[in-house]
Structures are given as C-alpha cells and as structure tokens.
Amino acid sequence: MPTSQLVPVRLKAFLYRYVTERPTEDILFHTLRPKFVSMKIPGEYRPCNPTLCFDGTGYAIVVRSVNYELMESGGVKLHGEGYDTINYIGNLSTNLNVLNMASLEDAAFRNVPGRSGDGFEDLRTFFWKDDLWSLGSARSNSGDINTMALQKLSGQRVVESYLIESPVGSSREKNWMPFVSDGKLMAVHTMNPLTIVEISENGAKVSLRKPLKVPKDLLGSSQLVEWKNGWLCVVHERSRGKKHLYKHRFVYFDPIWDAVLSEPFYWKEYGVEFCCGLAVHDGTVAVGFGVNDSEAIIAQFNEADIERMLEWS
C-alpha cells in the first residue's frame, strides 16, 4: 500500500504545513547562541509566557501560569472547572539568577462581571510615571471575552487596574504592544495596517494608522523598546490549524514608523512559542517566551546580532 494511503488526511495536512511553512532561519541556534534559562514557579499550574523589562540593575519579571496543558493531538486538557491564570512577579539579576518570586495578588480586581473573573493573561511590563505597570488581557470564560487591562504593580500586588475598552468595538482584545514615548503610554494595536493607540486610565484612542508593506498576518508579541533612533519589538505569525505553529520576527520601526523586519525564526522548537517580553541594555538583549504553554524561558544574546538579523535596505 502506498505510504500516502497510510497517513490520515488531517495528519498529511499538518505535515504539509509543518514542512512548507517551517522557518528556514535557525539563526538563533547557530549565530546568536543564546543563553536559555527556564523559570520555575511554585504550585501546580504550568508556567508560560514570561514578560520582563530592565529596571536599571536587573529585570522585573512576571510569569503567567495556567491550569491546562496542550496535548500532542492539538487539544487541551483542563485541570479544574474553567480556565484560570495565576501570575508570579519577581526580579532577576542581569545574569538571569532569580532574586525573588511570589504570586501577584490581583484578587481585588477580578470582580468585574463578565470581564475579569478568570484572571489577567499575558502581561507586558514597562515603567511609566516612575512606577512598574503592565498591560495585559482580562479574561471572562463565560462570555469568551478579553478586555485589555492597564495595571499598576507595587511589590507583590496589583494596586490599580483599569479596563480599556476596544477602540474598534471588538469583544476580544489581546497582545497590544506597549511603549512609553514623551511620557505618554502608547501601544501598537495592529501591525497591518499599523495602528497605534494612546492609552490612559480612561481608555484608548487611535493616534496613528499607517499601511505597511509587511505580511498581513503579523500579530503583537513583546513591548516596544527604544533602539537606535526608533523602536524594536518582536512579532509573531500563527499558522491556523488543529495544531498551532508559531514563527517570530524582530521588527525595527524608524522615527516615521517605517518597518524593517528580520526573517522568520523560532526560538527553541517549531510549535507553540509565544513571546511577551523584550529588554535591551548594555549591549545585551533579553527576551521572554513560553513553550507549549508549559515552560517559561528567558533568553539572552548579544545586541550586535539584532542588526545582522534585520534586512537593512
């Protein structure tokens, strides 16, 4: 019997996508030679999708943890009555030693019916108004609703939380990429067209919309950090199917918001990888990403390698 007849149709479709869409760039393995450190947290939930930012002496970090696991079949095995997120906050040294780590207390703000009862997902941290803040996605399982949440963090607690309504009327908002410019909190809302919003405790309004010559399916991942004369970030593309496949790119925005992209790549393995954090300091780049929603990894490499990855024109 021909081999093709032995392979189920769904598996053949997955294998076709895996081979034809697989990134050709394994540059992070052979050129960057990054240092990988896996973050550990207490409890039974699975760590994933860490975010980090440079605080002047090391990194402020938040690690998400979840009560489910992704199966090889592409399905999800839930441990509990509904999906839940517990975040952990801590500090790392510049060589990625864990200095402290504790659960982030957010119970006081999980009380908005139909909005935030099931936790805050995939935070991106940044400093604003001399304090540590995060921009994440509040989750309500009952209505399948995600609402952006701007939160001020102090110690091991969320001390202020503001739900930010969608500027386009969507019931599911995720993966905005925050940055602070001239004291104002901004975020990339979409990549194509490039849409930038200005955020305050009162909401978000569109401040820039610009078409870009970039792949149409680019989605937000990390924060934007100042780099050269513009901004640097990480974005991702997701192959839609029963099993998700993620590719990543570095993006540099110049002062007029034209974009330069790297070739697509994966961090450790071609599958479910998701980047939530980026920091650049003293010639070092640090990124935070999750693998299969069950591992939280921080990677470090040399800043000089970023320029080699970008397609300068």
* pLDDT exceeds cutoff 50 at 6: no
Alpha carbon distance 208, 33 (integer Å): 37
DSSP annotation of 109 reads: G
- Convert the pLDDT of each residue in 175-202 to its tens digit: 999 999 999 999 999 999 999 999 999 9
Residue 8 lies in a domain: no
- Convert the pLDDT of each residue in 270-296 to its tens digit: 899 999 999 999 999 999 999 999 999
Radius of gyration of the chain (CA): 19
Alpha carbon distance 282, 266 (integer Å): 25
Q: Give me 257's structure tokens.
A: 């918001």
Q: Environment class of residue 2 by beta-carbon count within 10 Å: exposed (0-12), middle (13-18) or buried (19+)? A: exposed
Number of domains in the chain: 1
The residue-averaged pLDDT of 241-264 equals 91
Q: What is the CATH number of the domain that holds 80?
A: 2.115.10.20
* pLDDT exceeds cutoff 70 at 10: no
Residue 256 lies in a domain: yes
Residue 169 lies in a domain: yes
Spatial CB neighbours of 228, under 8 Å, sequence gap ≥ 6? 252
- Convert the pLDDT of each residue in 130-140 to its tens digit: 999 999 999 99
Band the pLDDT of 63: cuts 50, 70, 90. very high
* pLDDT exceeds cutoff 70 at 307: yes
- Convert the pLDDT of each residue in 201-230 to its tens digit: 999 999 999 999 999 999 999 999 999 999
Phi-psi region of 26 (alpha: psi -120 to 50; beta: other; left: phi over 0): alpha
Under 8 Å between Cβ of 84 and 119: yes
Residue 4 lies in a domain: no
SS3 27: helix
Residue 1 lies in a domain: no
Residue 3 lies in a domain: no
* pLDDT exceeds cutoff 60 at 27: no
* pLDDT exceeds cutoff 70 at 120: yes
The residue-averaged pLDDT of 306-311 equals 83
Q: Give me 59's structure tokens.
A: 């990194």
User: Which strand (E) or helix (H) includes residue 308?
Assistant: helix 304-309
- Its domain, for residue 36, covers 13-309
Band the pLDDT of 31: cuts 50, 70, 90. low
Name the pairing type of β-strands 76-78 and 85-93. Answer: unpaired
Question: Cβ of 312: how many Cβ atoms within 10 Å?
Answer: 7
Band the pLDDT of 26: cuts 50, 70, 90. low
Residue 2 lies in a domain: no
SS3 72: coil
Encoded amino acid at 278, one letter: L
Q: Give me 171's structure tokens.
A: 């019931």
The residue-averaged pLDDT of 147-163 equals 98
Residue 7 lies in a domain: no
Coarse DSSP helix, strand, coil percentages of the chain, rounded to the nearest 5 percent: 10, 55, 35
Q: How far is CA 217 from the centre of its chain?
A: 16
- Convert the pLDDT of each residue in 90-116 to its tens digit: 999 999 999 999 999 999 999 888 899
The residue-averaged pLDDT of 13-21 equals 47
pTM beyond 0.85: the answer is: yes
Q: Give which of 66, 33, 34 is closest to 49, Cα–Cα.
A: 66
What are the distances in angstroms from CA 32 to CA 23, 41, 50, 65, 272?
16, 27, 21, 28, 21
